[in-house]
Amino acid sequence: MAAPAPWTPRLPLWVRVFAWLGGQWAFRSERRAARLLQGFACTEEQSQLELRQAARDCPDERRRARYLRHALDETRHAHAFSEHARGLARAAGAAGFAPPSAGCERLYERLGELRFLAFVHVGEQRGRAEFETYARLLRKRGAGATAQLFEDLIADERQHEAYTAQLLNELAGADGARRAVRWVRRWQAWREFRRRGRRLARTLYNVTMLFVYVTLAPFALTLRLFGKPQRGFSREF
C-alpha cells in the first residue's frame, strides 16, 4: 500500500493577493525594485544562518545534511538577489548595496526542531507563492530578466517546501504537523503585533528625546564656551 501523502497546510489566500498588490507598487521603479531585491537577499541570508545553526545542533545526520543543503541554496539565492539588485541600482543610477547582512535569532534552538520545521515550511510555501506571483507580474510588464530571477528560484522553493513537509509528517505525524503549523501561525501573528507596537514605542521615544534635546541647549552652549578643544598628546589617560 502506498504511503499516504504528507499533510501540508493550505496557503492562505491573502498571501497571493498582498503579493500582487505589493508587487504592483514595488516594481514600478527600478530603484524600488532594487531595494526590494536587496531586502530579499537579506532575508535569504538570515534563512541561511538559521539553517546553519539547525545543521550544527541537530542530532540526526540525515536531517543535518538536509538543513545544510538548504542553507547552501539560500546562500545562492541571497547572492542572486544581491547581484540583480546591484544591477538594477546601477541601471537606475543609484548607489549600490553592501553585501547582504542579517542577524540570526537562533530559531532552531528557541522553537525546537518540530516548530522550526513548521516555521520553515510555512515560510517556504509563502515565499514560493510570492515568487510565482511576482514572476507572473513581471512577465506581464516585460521585465524578463527579473522575472527569470524569480522563476529560477521557484524550483528550489518547491523542493524546500516538500522536504520540510515530509520531515514534519515523519517526526510528528499529520496531527503533530497540523498543531505545529497552527502554533507557528499564531506565533508569527503575535510577533507582527509586537513589531508594530515597537514601532509605536520607538516613535514616542524619538519625540521625547527630541524634546529633551532641545532642553540641552544651555549645556551645549556651556561646553562650547568653556570646554577645551582636545588635540595633541596627553599624559593623563
Partner 1 sequence: MAAILGISGLYHDAAAALVIDGQVVAAIQEERLSRIKNDPSLPRLAVAACLRQGGIRAEDLSAVLFYESPYRKLERVLHWLLQAYPASARHFSKALSAQLGEKLWVLDQVAELVGVPRARVRPTSHHLSHAASAFLVSPYQDAAILTVDGVGEDVTTALYRGTGTRIEPLLSLPYPHSLGLLYAAITAYLGFEVNEGEHKVMGLAALGQPRYRQEFERLIQLHADGSFELAARYFSYEAGGELGFSPALEQLLGPRRTPGTPWALETSEADRRYADVAATLQSVTEDALLELARRAKRETGADALCLAGGVALNAVANRRLLREAGFAHVFVQPAAGDAGGALGAALLGAVEAGDGRPPPLAHVALGEPIKVDEARALAHHLGLSAEQLTDPAASVCELLLQGGIVGVCNGAFEWGPRALGQRSLLALPGSLATRERLNRVIKQREPFRPFAPAVLRERAAEFFSDAPNDLTPFMTSVCDVRPLHRQALAGVTHADGTARVQTVNATAQGLLPAVLSGLERATGVPIALNTSLNGPGEPIVAHATDALAFLSAHAIDGLVIEDYLFRRRS
Partner 2 sequence: MPSFLVRSASRARTLLELLQHLLKRRRFFMIPLVLVLLLAGVLLLLSEGLSYVAPFVYTIF
Report the site for partner 1 in 46-65 (rule: CB under 8 A). Answer: 49, 52-53, 55-56, 61-62, 64-65
Sign of CA dihedral 215, 220, 226, 230: positive
Residue 94 in grid coordinates:
543609484
192 torsion bin: left (phi>0), alpha (psi -120 to 50), beta (else) = alpha
Residue 141 contact, options partner 2, partner 1, none, Cβ 5-8 Å cut-off depending on partner type: none
What is the dihedral angle through the alpha carbons of 209, 215, 221, 223, rounded to the nearest 10 degrees?
A: -60
Binding site for partner 2 (CB under 8 A): 18-19, 22-23, 25-26, 36, 39-40, 43, 46-47, 102-103, 105, 123, 126-127, 130, 191, 194-195, 197-198, 200-202, 204-205, 208-209, 212, 216, 219, 222
| Residue 232 interaction partner, one of partner 1, partner 2, none, beta carbon < 5-8 Å per kind | partner 1
Rounded CA-CA distance 36/24 in Å is 12
The partner in contact with residue 91, picked from partner 1, partner 2, none with C-beta cut-offs of 5 to 8 angstroms by kind, is none
Q: Does 224 bind partner 1 (CB under 8 A)?
A: yes
Nearer to partner 2, 5 or 28 (CB): 28
* Cell triple for 59: 542530532
